[in-house]
Structure 1
Amino acid sequence: MSTIERIRNRRNAKRDARAIERALSSAPTQSMRNEIAIFSQQRVF
């Protein structure tokens, strides 16, 4: 894997992590937060 690919992958992983954090903080119910948490745990970064 090239250096550029590693930088790109790291940037994408950080972007996804920020999106998940935003979704968790704006979810109206605990059950929705649980669903988001399960989804995010199954993702491969």
Structure 2
Amino acid sequence: MDRIRSRRIAKRQERAIDRAWHSAPTQAMRDEIAIFAQRRPI
């Protein structure tokens, strides 16, 4: 059960990061979001 919940949370975070990346106004902000996404725990 915990595995399902954690997978759902991870997918939700992934979608939120993707939306933020696509709506970022500058390339520098996209770079920051990409760095954040790479460093987040899985």
| Number of aligned residue pairs | 42
Uncovered stretches (5+) of structure 2, i.e. residues with no partner: none
What is the RMSD computed on CA atoms of the aligned residues? 0.4
Q: Quick one: distance in 1 between partners of 2:3 and 2:11?
A: 12
TM-score by length of 2: 0.97
Pairwise mapping of residues 24-43 of structure 1 onto structure 2 (< 5 A)? Answer: 24-43=21-40
Could you say which residue in structure 2 is the equivalent of 1:16?
A: 13
Could you say which residue in structure 2 is the equivalent of 1:5?
A: 2
Q: Quick one: distance in 2 between partners of 1:32 and 1:24?
A: 8
Uncovered stretches (5+) of structure 1, i.e. residues with no partner: none
TM-score by length of 1: 0.91
Runs of 4+ in 1 over 4 A off after TM superposition: none
